[in-house]
Amino acid sequence: MFKPISHFVSVIMHPLFVIIYILFYLIFANPYIFGFSGPKAEGMVLISILTISVMFPLIAILMMKALGLISSFSMPDKKERIGPLIITGLFYMWLYVNVRNNDNIPNAISFFILGTTIAIFLALTINSFTKISLHTIAAGGFLTGMTLIIFNWSYGYVDIPIPFLGTVWRCSDRMVLMVVMLLTGAAGSARLYLKAHETDEVYGGYIVGILSQMVAFKLFF
Q: 3-state secondary structure string, 158-201?
A: EEEEEHHHCEEEEEEHHHHHHHHHHHHHHHHHHHHHCCCCCHHH
What's the confidence (pLDDT) of residue 26? Answer: 87
* pLDDT per residue as tens digits for the range 134-165: 999 999 999 999 999 999 887 788 888 787 77
- DSSP strands (E only) in the chain: 157-162, 167-172
Half-sphere exposure of residue 112, counting CA atoms within 13 Å on the CB side?
Answer: 29
Q: What ranges do the domains of the chain cover?
A: 2-220
Is this model's pTM higher than 0.85 or not?
yes
* pLDDT per residue as tens digits for the range 165-217: 778 888 899 999 999 999 999 999 999 999 999 999 999 999 999 999 999 99
d(CA 214, CA 21): 19
The 3-state DSSP class for residue 51 equals helix
d(CA 155, CA 174): 12
